[in-house]
Structure 1
Amino acid sequence: MATPIHGIALRTVRHNERNDILTLYTAESGRMSVIVSAGTSAASRRRRALTMPLSLVECVVMDRPGRNLNPIRDLRPTLPLPGLHTDPRRMSVAMFTAETLWHILPEGDADKSLWRFLADAVTFLDATPDSVANFHLALLMGIGHYLGIAPDTASYRPGRIFDMAGGRFLDTPPTAHGHWLEAGDAAALHSLQRITLTNSHLFEMTRAERQRALDLTLQYYSMHYAPLSRLKSLDILRNVTL
């Protein structure tokens, strides 16, 4: 059966001498992996260019019963993203974002609202004339709402600590675990909940403040998903963007 899909490219790895495995987050099926031809031909090089991190693509999956990985055909870009693939800052943000999404987006049914949020974020990153230094922070804050782990901002009061496991602001540290933020970091995390893609360039931060905000956010996601402290693209992001 041939199934048309629309996806966001997250990662490509070599499968064997002839094929690569491409992981996409799709509007129709959520996260999925497919087989694409590898090699050194002009067509193979074009396919690799089409599947750079966060590329928006559409193709047809050739579903074959009993197989976890299926081939695709008619791969093409949904939308050209010239800024995303030529500007070093945007490229570093795209690499980090794609790798992070590969770790945190769960397998399972499609979530068209999340897919639309991510697709709109990609086009924003490509086209915005404003600074993208805070883009990754805004994206992670936004995704938290779709994944059900957004901090409970209603529980915030000045001076409270933040329970990383429970996602709530508390008067006293939790006794069941030691994963919590002091009041100063808790206040910074609370302020960050106001950031969006469109206002992210208005959040003025020093380099140290931005790095600390990212570290706290990754710690929080690591409490609820796979550890994110060893992302390969993190050093590139810090050197180029932060």
Structure 2
Amino acid sequence: MLKKTQGIVLSSIRYKETSIIVKIFTRELGLKSYLVNGVRSQGSKSKIALYQPLTILELVVYDKDNGGLQRISEAQLHRANQLIPFDFSRTGIALFITEVISKSIYENYQNEALFDFLKECVIHLDSKDAQLGQFPLVFLIEKASFLGFAPEEALGFLSESRSQPFSPAELVQAELYLTALMTNSFSNETKIGKSLRQKLLDHLLDFYSQHLDNPGNWKSLEILRQLNS
């Protein structure tokens, strides 16, 4: 059955000589894996560009009840990312976002509110106003609420974790900063030092690891560190 939906590309892998298998988080159908034939053949650069991480697509897809690999009938850009593909910092954050999403949800998982949040994140990351240093922190804090394990107050993020890397003085700063992020989201103007911000990112990822099934190592974290060094 053909169905229309919006989708956000998470990742793709090569399949045979000219094809790819792409993971797309769709609004109405959830997380799906699609086989896309011929996009790596000569003269298909425009097609392969549709399946870069965090590309938002308008899709017409074949939806089969038996699961497995699906197929795409039509794919068009919902909007073209202007900055993410060409800015190393934004590209690194995009890889981080796709890794966190991929480790947090499973095949066929459907959550329209989470999709709308992720779409908002993509659009904001692609804007000139995005504050890149705090972006991964805000993303982790807000995404936890859609997955059902976000504490109501900032102190919960700091206390409900195995690791406690903060000194007493840092703990006070961290709580105040997290409170500001939870209150003001991506528009937060409060600043902290890079070292403490990195500790917070490590801490929040440890927090996520405790709530996810076998997340493994966070491969994109090293990329973020290199971009912000």
One-letter identity of the residue aligned with 1:10: L
Aligned residue number for residue 170 of structure 1: none
Whole-angstrom CA distance in 2 between matches of 1:131 and 1:186 = 23
Instruction: Identify if the C-alpha distance between structure 1 residues 114 and 207 changes in structure 2 by more than 3 Å, giving closer, same or farther.
Output: same
TM-score by length of 2: 0.85
1:56 Cα deviation after fit: 0.6
Task: Report the counterpart of residue 217 of structure 2 in structure 1.
Answer: 230
**Runs of 5+ unmatched residues, structure 1:** 165-178
2:180 counterpart of 1:194: yes
The AA in structure 1 aligned to 2:159 is F
Q: Which amino acid aligns with 2:193?
A: T
Correspondence for 1:167:
none
Cα pair distance change 1:29/1:7, threshold 3 Å: same
Does 2:220 correspond to 1:212?
no
The residue type paired with residue 162 of structure 1 is: S
Cα 1:34–1:126 change in 2 (3 A) is: same
Q: For the structure 1 residues 39 and 135, does the alpha-carbon distance in structure 2 shift closer, same or farther, using more than 3 Å as the test?
A: same
Residues 67 and 152 of structure 1: is their aligned pair in 2 closer, same or farther, counting only changes over 3 Å?
closer
Q: Distance in 2 between matches of 1:229 and 1:69?
A: 25
Question: Structure 1 residues 16, 186: CA separation in 2 closer, same or farther (over 3 Å shift)?
Answer: farther
Query: What is residue 181 of structure 1 aligned with on the other side?
Result: 164
Residues 104, 212 of structure 2: 8 Å contact kept: yes
Pairing 1:240–2:227 present: yes
* Structure 1 residues 42-96: Cα deviation after superposition (integer angstroms, max 9, x where no partner): 22x2222112111111221123464511111221110111111112211111111
Aligned pair count reads 222
Identity %: 26
1:199-242 deviation line (CA, Å, top 9, x unaligned): 24x23122211211110010000001145562332211111136
Match of 1:75? 75
- Give the whole-Å Cα distance in 2 for the aligned partners of 1:109 and 1:227: 17
Q: Give the 3 Å change call, closer, same or farther, for CA 137–65 of structure 1 in structure 2.
A: closer
Is the 2:135–2:186 contact (alpha carbons within 8 Å) kept by the matching residues of 1?
A: no
Assess if the C-alpha contact under 8 Å between 1:34 and 1:69 holds in 2: yes
CA contact (8 A) 1:59 1:75 kept: yes
CA separation in 2, counterparts of 1:34 and 1:81?
A: 22
Relative to structure 1, is the Cα distance of residues 224 and 126 closer, same or farther in structure 2, using a 3 angstrom cutoff?
Answer: same
Counterpart in 2 of 1:46?
Answer: 46
Distance 1:143 1:65, change over 3 A: closer
SS in 2 for 1:78: strand
Q: Which moved more, 1:75-84 or 1:228-237?
A: 228-237
Aligned to 1:139: 139
Distance 1:193 1:235, change over 3 A: same
How far did residue 104 of structure 1 move?
1.1
Deviation at 1:197, TM superposition (A): 3.9
Q: Does the CA contact (< 8 Å) of 1:141 and 1:193 recur in 2?
A: no
Aligned AA (1:224)? H
More helix by share: 2
Query: 2 CA distance for matches of 1:181 and 1:189?
Result: 13
Contact 1:60–1:75 under 8 Å retained in 2: yes
- With 138-147 and 102-111 compared, the bigger mean Cα shift is at 102-111
CA offset at residue 189 of structure 1? 5.2
